[in-house]
Amino acid sequence: MWSEVYRPMRVEQMVGNEEARLAILKWLAGWVSGAKPLLLVGPPGTGKTTVVKALASQFGYDLVEMNASDARNRENIRERVAPVFGNVGLFGKKILLFLDEVDGISGREDSGGLDALVELVKEPTVPVIMAANEKSAKIKELAKACKTVEFRPVPPRQLMMFLDHVLQSEGARLGPGDKVSIVRNSRGDIRALLNGAQSRVAGYATVANDDVTEIDIADAINGYFAAGDRRQAAKILARADASYPDPRYQGGGMDAEARRKDMIAALFSSLAGSHLDPDTLAASLDVLSRADVVAGRVSRRRQWSLLRYVGDMLAHGLYDVTRGKAARYTQYSMPWQVMGPVFARAQSIRKVSSALAPATHVSRSTCSTFVLPYLVRQMAQKKVDPVEFAIDNFNDESIGESLAKEMEKAAARK
């Protein structure tokens, strides 16, 4: 793959983000024990991983690379990261620790993965560089403990110059229209630029910019189910504003919008909520389960180019079994009559546990599972007014209203 052949071996060979690269060089050259880690933030394909590997090679470091999203909780983070700070590299070489995809670590209070990482990197004994696709609120505390360097999409002018260099090195030629289309469709991602150019040189048609326009996941799935032929259905699904995250991490590591755009999860909820007959549902879920397994392997092995086959598996595998079955997009796999009360109660309990957990020195999950039911039962037995209790202890009348509802539910169960 050209994306590997032309991966820079030295920092000065990279394209774009000159200021970011200079900041990283200065940081590593002046690094002393206990110095703040470096957090690289930017979209995929802009050179975050490449610059770290080039730095390790140029400065004589043994690179210890970990995908941080594989270590989701406090225990896993400590088991993997802490030993690095007490070791030296092979033949006594210095160690450089690189934690990729730190924005994939669980931010939930019960897992504590991000909190553990913040504690570990406060005074590191080896240089630590971390990478994230975006500087979200989820990693706010981690960002405070680091020196942040932002990577931006590579400008089209630099992409065109680099594309001309690669084509000349390969002895290949492309027309001006093809080159402009490849640069435009790469959207500042050098990896996408090289993959697109190699595909075009190999004889595959250049995808017009109009064909890659993303459409909302809901419209795409409804369009897929309504498509009159297989080719049109596959094309609609390919244009969806969707993703294929590792299926193991579809829970706390993703925000609500990211979960909504998870293609496999969106298809599952749509099929499960469309009241299909058992045979159709079973055949559909079989296709989804196979695609789910492949997506997980692609993510773990970082073979992103293979994701296109996951799309093909879904587009063609589901086509025959869903024709004429009145399937439609549904965000939730249960009807709203069931989901509505569940969401409402979850928000109510979350508010109570957020106030109660610090007072009882437990996590919100433990509070909701063990402390809250016991508190509600005791309040009911002693006939404590929930509103007065909430105002006296938390100065929040709405918490008392939530407690009153829980007391009513407990009384109804007797």
Residue 162's CATH number: 1.10.8
The 10s digit of each residue's pLDDT in 58-68 is: 888 888 877 76
DSSP 262: B
DSSP 44: T
User: How many alpha carbons fall within 13 Å on the CB side of residue 224?
Assistant: 33
Which residue, 110, 132, 150, sits at the end of a domain? 150
For residue 293, the enclosing domain spans: 217-322
Domain match, 227 and 269 both: yes
Domain match, 161 and 142 both: no
pLDDT attached to residue 75: 66
How many CB atoms neighbour CB 239 within 10 A? 16
Tokens at residue 315, please? 């587009």
Beta-carbon contacts of 159 under 8 Å, excluding residues fewer than 6 positions away, are 15, 183, 186, 188, 190, 193
Domain match, 295 and 196 both: no
The answer to whether the Cα torsion of 236, 265, 313, 303 is positive or negative is positive
In this structure, is residue 6 part of a structural domain?
A: no
Beta-carbon contacts of 413 under 8 Å, excluding residues fewer than 6 positions away, are none
The 10s digit of each residue's pLDDT in 237-282 is: 887 877 776 554 444 455 556 667 788 888 888 888 787 888 998 9
In this structure, is residue 293 part of a structural domain?
A: yes
Domain match, 28 and 82 both: yes
210 pLDDT above the threshold of 50: no
How many domains is the chain partitioned into structurally? 4
In this structure, is residue 409 part of a structural domain?
A: yes
Domain match, 242 and 365 both: no
What does the buried/exposed string (b/e) look like for 172-185 if buried means 16 or more CB atoms within 10 Å of the residue's CB?
eebeeebbbbbbeb
Domain match, 144 and 165 both: no
Tokens at residue 337, please? 């009559």
Domain match, 165 and 256 both: no
Q: How far apart are CA 353 and CA 288, in angstroms?
A: 36
Domain match, 296 and 400 both: no
pTM summary value: 0.50
Domain match, 23 and 144 both: yes
User: How many alpha carbons fall within 13 Å on the CB side of residue 59?
Assistant: 22
In this structure, is residue 191 part of a structural domain?
A: yes
Tokens at residue 373, please? 């039911």
In this structure, is residue 374 part of a structural domain?
A: yes
Lowest-confidence pick of 36-40, 54-58, 119-123, 223-227: 119-123
In this structure, is residue 281 part of a structural domain?
A: yes
Domain match, 381 and 365 both: yes
In this structure, is residue 329 part of a structural domain?
A: no
In this structure, is residue 204 part of a structural domain?
A: yes
| Phi-psi category of residue 128: left, alpha or beta, with phi > 0 → left and psi -120 to 50 → alpha | beta
